[in-house]
Amino acid sequence: MTSRPAIAIDIAKLFAERGALPVDVPVLQPADPFLDMAGEDLRRRIFLTESETGHTLCLRPEFTIPVCLDHIASQAGTPRRYAYLGEVFRQRREGANEFFQAGIEDLGDRDTARADARSVADAHALISLALPGRALTVTLGDQAVFEAVLAALGLPRGWRMRLARAFGSDAMLETALADLANPPRNGQLDGAVALLAADGDGEGLATHIATEMEQAGLSASAGRTPADIARRLIEKVQLRSVRLSDDAFAALKSFLAIDAPLAGAASALEKFAADAHLSLGEALEKFAARADAIAAHGLGADTVRYDAAFGRPLDYYTGLVFEIAATGNSPRVLAGGGRYDRLLTLLGAKTPIPGVGFSVWLDRIEALREALS
């Protein structure tokens, strides 16, 4: 076990001042929610194990999903703010596989601009407490604004979903955009499969796949069903049949190039929308309200920037995403967070519960504190 961070007591005091209730969740967690919702990068780093009854478990790789599951199980009312400080377990190329994180999960506040701003301000305050006098930078992105741009450009649902999943991964987004600009041919499919997929004949394709699997001695219960495989193949064929117009592709690239101080970000988005003849509607209104709320916490334009191409590689984010880093020759991300309004419903909540939260990497903060001492 790693030793508890020296600043743990100060962090607990800060959480109490911010009205966040301490919560403790088990180290062993059901693996499925992380495998289904956490994002490819985190899924590859999870430590898996198995219960005595054969259920797949994992060592706690993060706190957001466990805290949300605990909230649902407790049937607690909202709004409610939960604070945590404990160990997480991930396979990492550098550093220990077991390290401490601290953060706050803010559940049920319907004023999303206020809750988002509070999350950013709380994360900034925690790092400032641990690293007094150290200059920090906050980078914001917005999943909802990105998806609003995709919808306004008229992209079909399949492409919107693929690009939304890629948001937060530079490599995945670059690949998706390259395919959108120059769709690859469907030459990898044989004649019968290609024809059925091109016709969108899901039933016929599933039957063909089932026959091929049976002849090859493969069990349909050993993995994805023929119907699942057919659906994915048809989706891929449909995606490859779409090519964005030059004007629309240029508009998307122009949007992703927006990088501005938060104080001028809403104006930059408004100008982009006007120039591209797009309506971003409610997503832009919420963005502007959040920017005002963040400014009210005293986080100035020299601290917070909006990068339209910035996302975080977790599948459950639906709006705000942010990271905080210490400035210097080799800036290191110290905190990350975002909004996840669909997550609790996917985890089993009977009614929608909005949520936003952040995590701080305490091992990275301790390393900086030691370097400065």
Q: Are residues 93 and 195 in the same domain?
A: no
Where in the chain does DSSP place strands (E)?
21-22, 28-30, 48-50, 56-59, 80-89, 98-107, 136-142, 259-261, 304-307, 320-326, 332-339, 355-361
Those residues whose C-beta lies under 8 Å from the C-beta of residue 17, and which sit 6 or more positions away, are none
Closest residue by Cα to residue 21 from 109, 80, 108? 80
**The pLDDT of residue 208:** 80
The predicted pLDDT at position 219 comes to 60
Ranges of residues in the chain with a pLDDT under 70 are: 1-2, 183-191, 193-200, 219-224, 234-244, 329-331
Beta carbons within 10 angstroms of residue 10's beta carbon: 13
| Alpha-carbon span 61 to 253, nearest angstrom | 34
Same domain, yes or no: 366 and 227 = no
Q: In the chain, how many domains are there?
A: 2
**218 and 327 inside one domain:** no
Alpha carbon 347 to its chain's center: 16
One domain, residues 363 and 273: yes
Are 233 and 365 within one domain? no
Q: What is the pLDDT of residue 222?
A: 47
Same domain, 262 and 224: no
Tell me the angle at which helices 262-276 and 281-296 cross, rounded to the nearest 10 degrees.
Answer: 170
CA 332, 267, 119, 10 dihedral sign is positive
- Asked which of 240, 272, 298 is the last residue of a domain, the reply is 240
Q: How far is it, in rounded angstroms, from Cα 87 to Cα 216?
A: 46
Residue 296 phi, psi dihedral angles, 5° rounding: -65, -20
Kindly tell me the burial class for residue 178, based on how many C-beta atoms sit within 10 Å of its own C-beta (0-12, 13-18, 19 or more).
exposed
Whether residue 38 sits in one domain with residue 144: yes
Give the predicted TM-score (pTM) of the model. 0.83
In a domain, 52, yes or no: yes
- Please say whether the beta carbons of 61 and 86 come within 8 A: no
Pick from 171, 206, 240: which residue ends a domain? Answer: 240
Identify whether residues 220 and 340 lie together within a single domain.
no
Domain endpoint, select from 210, 240, 270: 240
Q: Are 173 and 163 in contact (CB under 8 A)?
A: yes
Query: Does residue 208 lie within any of the structural domains?
Result: yes
> Which conformational region is residue 354 in: left (phi greater than 0), alpha (psi within -120 to 50 degrees), or beta?
beta
Does 158 reside within a domain? no
Q: Provide the pLDDT for residue 239.
A: 59
Q: Are residues 305 and 213 in the same domain?
A: no
User: Quick check: is 216 in a domain?
Assistant: yes
Q: Give the pLDDT of residue 209.
A: 80
CATH code, 20: 3.30.930.10
Q: Largest alpha-carbon pair distance within the chain? A: 69
Please give the residue range of the domain that contains residue 203: 191-240
Residue 46 is assigned to a structural domain of this protein: yes
Proportion of the chain in helix, strand, coil states, percent, rounded to 5:
45, 20, 35
Residue 247 domain flag: no
Verify that 198 and 64 share a domain, yes or no: no
Helix (H) or strand (E) holding 68: helix 64-74
Token pair in block for residue 237: 């064929």
Q: Give the model's pLDDT for residue 155.
A: 84
Is 164 contained in some domain? no
Burial 23-43, CB ≥16 within 10 A → b, else e: bebeeebbbebbeebbbeebb
Using alpha carbons, select from 201, 283, 276 the residue that is nearest to residue 244.
276
Judge if 206 and 111 occupy the same domain. Answer: no
Cα 9 to the chain's mean position, in Å? 29
| Per-residue pLDDT, 256 | 95
21 with 134, same domain? yes
Q: Which two tokens stand for residue 323?
A: 């990271």
Does residue 342 form part of some domain? yes
